[in-house]
Amino acid sequence: MKIAVPKEIKNHEYRVALTPTGARELVGRGHSVSVQAAAGEGAGFSDSDYEAAGAQVEANVDALWQSAELILKVKEPQAEEVARLTANQTLFTYLHLAAEEKLTQGLMASGATCIAYETITDAKGGLPLLAPMSTVAGRMAVQAGAHSLEKAQGGSGVLLPGVPGVAPGKVTVIGGGVVGENAARMALGLGAEVTILDKSIARLEVLDDRYQGRIKTVYSTADALDQAAKESDMIIGAVLIPGAAAPKLITHAMLADMKPGSVLVDVAIDQGGCFETSKPTTHAEPTYIVDGVVHYCVANMPGAVARTSTLGLTNATLPFVLALADKGWQQALKDDPHFLPGLNVHNGQVTYQAVADAFGLNSIDPASAVA
Ligand SMILES: NC(=O)C1=CN([C@@H]2O[C@H](COP(=O)(O)OP(=O)(O)OC[C@H]3O[C@@H](n4cnc5c(N)ncnc54)[C@H](O)[C@@H]3O)[C@@H](O)[C@H]2O)C=CC1
Ligand SMILES: CC(=O)C(=O)O
Ligand SMILES: [Mg+2]
């Protein structure tokens, strides 16, 4: 199979979808791999590393896209990438479609087969291709939030661990999944007072057991959210309803109850965000202030730590990439019930119910697309 790896073009996105190690695996199985010149640079992989692994380095972006059967990316395609996609191509990347109607329409119009990393499941009920980047983003959320608390950033001037004789800052994490637990761990490590809110009692039980009371767990209700808004120095938004738009849990009106200079870090921004006043930001300008509350809403947080993130992401994606290349997308998805929900768009139709629901579109069962 002819596989292409473009250089990512989203703002300050330095990850790459395939490492030289992955290229070597594919080439060893008889596939042809073209990597755009300098695609791996931001993650510490040179063109000659890819060549040594048996890949071709392609400087001509048009030629790279036109010759590909399978395109491997990290971030959702940007407008100029959508325009390049054709009906006989398969795209494998993060898509987050429920947050982006225009992108959804563009992918439908392309006729391409679009498989999202973030809706692939595993036997334990997890999202194995989202989890490594959620781990990164969760760990980064606290350092981004702590920086945002500094006065020069518009923050309240609270140091999370406090000092002897001065109480630590309060961090509330909404959603105790992969992002939430990793954020909570970091905040705990810094010496903050940490509370996690979740709708899942089972998940709160796991966290309570794991952290032995060092992290408070609270069932997420409107009352609990009101209290979090009033008391927290930092709130981290880490909820997910897989594939769907995030619920708005902190409303604009609730900002009036928050302490001036407190910080909202909306990690769920890639699914539309879980705070009403969130809008996507970039690493170039990560924060903005609404009613005295600092908002950090970067939609590709792991892109900033591209070396670690690329290695973590490609460890998780490689088995799926190999299955797509070896078997073709239809057989690969047919053979694996956890890979099948990755299919979001095929042949002009949405194949993921929550994405269709977000925009009032019809969807078809992904199983019918591979039959
Ligand atoms: N901004 C960025 O760069 C990145 C963003 N993300 C995003 O972070 C979000 C969270 O991802 P994960 O932690 O992997 O998901 P997860 O599925 O592991 O955890 C989500 C948690 O939210 C809880 N939840 C759902 N609705 C809730 C509600 N109304 N109130 C309280 N809790 C609720 C669930 O019970 C679950 O425990 C996703 O939108 C993901 O795409 C992930 C990586 C990078
Ligand atoms: C999950 C995601 O959006 C990211 O890693 O950028
Ligand atoms: Mg996005």
CA of 214 to the centre of ligand 3 (A): 34
pTM metric for this prediction? 0.96
Per the CB < 8 A criterion, the answer to whether 272 and 279 are in contact is: no
Find residue 263's DSSP bridge partners: 234, 294
- Report residues near ion ligand 3: CB below 5 Å: 76, 96, 270, 299
Among 31, 96, 295, 346, which one carries the catalytic annotation?
96
What type of residue sits at position 361?
Answer: L
- With a cut of 0.90, is the ipTM above it? yes
Q: How far apart are CA 228 and CA 242, in angstroms?
A: 24
| CB distance 300 to ligand 2 below 6 Å | yes
CA of 299 from ligand 3 middle (Å) equals 6
With contact defined as beta carbons under 8 Å apart, do 182 and 143 qualify?
no
Q: Is the CB of 144 under 6 A from ligand 1?
A: no
Q: Which of 94, 100, 119, 305 to mutate to test the pocket of ligand 2 (most atoms within 8 A of CB)?
A: 94
Distance (Å) from CA 320 to ligand 1 centroid: 22
Which bin fits 54, alpha (ψ -120 to 50), beta or left (φ > 0)? left
Other CB atoms closer than 10 Å to residue 210's CB: what's the count? 12
Determine contact, residues 27/53, Cβ cutoff 8 Å.
yes
326 is catalytic: no
Listed in sequence order, the residues at least 6 apart from 250 whose beta carbon sits closer than 8 Å to its beta carbon are 174, 225, 229, 235, 237, 264, 274, 275, 276, 277
Q: How does DSSP assign 208-246, residue by residue?
A: HHHHTTSSEEEE--HHHHHHHHHH-SEEEE----TTSPP
Ligand 1 pocket, mutate which of 76, 134, 225 (most atoms under 8 A from CB): 134
Annotated active-site residue 270? The verdict is yes
pLDDT in tens, the chain (371 residues): 999 999 999 999 999 999 999 999 999 999 999 999 999 999 999 999 999 999 999 999 999 999 999 999 999 999 999 999 999 999 999 999 999 999 999 999 999 999 999 999 999 999 999 999 999 999 999 999 999 999 999 999 999 999 999 999 999 999 999 999 999 999 999 999 999 999 999 999 999 999 999 999 999 999 999 999 999 999 999 999 999 999 999 999 999 999 999 999 999 999 999 999 999 999 999 999 999 999 999 999 999 999 999 999 999 999 999 999 999 999 999 999 999 999 999 999 999 999 999 999 999 999 999 99
